[in-house]
Amino acid sequence: MNIVETAAGNPAFSTLVTALSAANLTSALGGTGPFTVFAPSNEAFAKLPAGTVDDLVLPANKAKLTAILKLHVVSGKHMASEFTGKSSEIATLGGEKVTVTGKDGSVHVGKAKVSSADLGASNGVIHVIDTVMMPA
């Protein structure tokens, strides 16, 4: 299963899958890749102010939603072990850079913590994060 199929098959990603569909990114992330997705869980989306997700998935906000989602995707397949004991800056599909830091047995992407790492997919890998990252 590719990244989108893997996410769609996991109830913890239902909000992410809805957002990917609203942004028309499902075909792109279902493509060849490889991709690394720092995937916010439903709990991460729930931390946003009330109504934020409902607002973002409206057609009028597609560009903003797309920018947010592309901040969570990088080219290449990057396993969590790559970041152990170091800090790396990686360019996202949205053009911004995120800092990925591995220390004390955990991995952080910006201010988000990876809560579950290395969920394999046929076209990359998913790392579950506890916070939705927002563009600068």
Three-state SS at 134: coil
Q: Is the pLDDT of residue 66 over 90?
A: yes
What is d(CA 55, CA 59) in angstroms, rounded to the nearest whole number? 9
Predicted local confidence at residue 105, as pLDDT: 86
pTM of the model: 0.94
Instruction: Specify whether the CB–CB gap between 94 and 135 falls below 8 A.
Output: yes
Predicted local confidence at residue 37, as pLDDT: 96
Mean pLDDT over residues 23-45, rounded? Answer: 93
Q: What is the DSSP letter of 80?
A: G
Centroid of chain to Cα 134: 11
Q: Is the pLDDT of residue 104 over 90?
A: no
Three-state SS at 69: helix
Per-chain mean pLDDT for the chain: 94
Mean pLDDT over residues 29-49, rounded? Answer: 94
Locate tokens 């152990």: which residue? 84
